[in-house]
Amino acid sequence: MLSSRMALRRLQRIAVAPLSFTSGATTKVLRDMSTLPRVYVTRQIPPEGLKILQDSGQVQFELWDSDDVPVPRTELLQKVKGVDGLLCVLTEKIDAELLDAAGSNLKVISTMSVGFDHLSLEELKKRGIRVGYTPEVLTDAVAELTVALLLATSRRLIEATHEAKTGGWGTWRTLWLCGYELANSTVGILGLGRIGVAIAERLAPFKVKKFIYTDVAPRPELAKAINAEYVTLDELAKQSDFLSICCALTPETKEICNKNLFSKMKNTSIFINTSRGGVVNQEDLYEALSTGQIAGAGLDVTVPEPLPTSHPLFTLKNCVILPHIASASYSTRNAMSALAANNLLLGLRSQPMIKELKL
């Protein structure tokens, strides 16, 4: 079996490789550019993906040429009219309104994300629209960021940096800015998939004593790779010194991290979420952090995004909030855009996508 790192490299090579076509097929398609499928790209995606679309000679595409500002909804509803394909990112809500605006020509949606909670899956299934997405290529980047966020939170690095900059660094004190170690700890994972396994693989050298997890059902093959024990959600909360949330946002997991879960956690526990903000009830999290029910939280995802700077969570020293950057490495974002582009082109040719969401 390939290691997760080897598998990622293989997937990146597949994603970045441009599609090849016979010269006869290319010549035939290029005879009349106006007959090519129309595609709208909702963001200025990284260059690897754009290059694949440009070099393919298989589509005519228009894009919202900004990386900073999402395409306004009114603009999006206008631009999708009559398109055959749509390449989007997670900031665009693909719902019945948008699909109605697009019309019956729309056959393929390719999202540059592993999550798909921004897609109305029932509407897409009902209309027979195929969906490509970008799992696996971001596993290493997300796992690395999760470990960094866990360490920054548990060892209070943001607090410490602030104290050093603002004059709070005085004489050496015995318990000042003390945090919690991974050595001899129990690490819990809610939602054991490739990312959860990759996180555990990176934490194991820190002398973690035990890994536990919960999911909709036991996942023995994945658990075996990290020697993790399957437990109930209640036991996950009770036993975990560090709890990492890695599950997808579904109707079943919406706000699954709530007052009930936090009340069962240790007051020395660290809570980390790099999945989706919607799996957490943020009011309950604020209460747990502000009352000392749990020791700290590190969040890369929130509701909404961006989280308003006036939000109460920003007032807490024991809450570290990042602006959804888990997959933000140059190689990973390029691999994601390339995979999204190739998924789109393959779908428009009625061929199997590299990564297709089965509806």
Question: HEC string of 197-261?
Answer: HHHHHHHHHHCCCEEEEECCCCCHHHHHHHCEEECCHHHHHHHCCEEEECCCCCCCCCCCECHHH
Taking residue 346's Cβ as centre, other Cβ atoms within 10 Å add up to 21
| Helix 330-348 × helix 139-154 angle, to 10° | 140
For the stretch 13-17, contacts whose Cβ atoms lie closer than 8 Å and that sit 24 or more positions apart, written own/partner, are 14/339, 14/354, 15/134, 15/137, 15/335, 15/336, 15/338, 15/339, 15/342, 15/354, 16/48, 16/334, 16/335, 16/338, 17/342
Exactly one of 118, 162, 311, 324 is catalytic; name it.
Answer: 324
CA atoms within 13 A on the CB side of 145: 26
Given a contact cutoff of 8 angstroms between Cβ atoms, the answer to whether 186 and 239 are in contact is yes
Name the amino acid, one letter, at 259. K
How far apart CA 276 and CA 237 sit, in angstroms, is: 19
Residues facing 214 on adjacent strands: 190
127: amino acid identity, one letter: R
Number of H helices, E strands in the chain: 14, 13
Concerning whether 162 is annotated as a catalytic residue, the answer is no
Based on C-alpha coordinates, what's the Rg of the chain?
22
Decide: 257 and 277 in contact? Cβ < 8 Å: no
Residue whose entry in the numeric block shows the structure tokens 């999945």: 275
Catalogue the active-site residues: 324
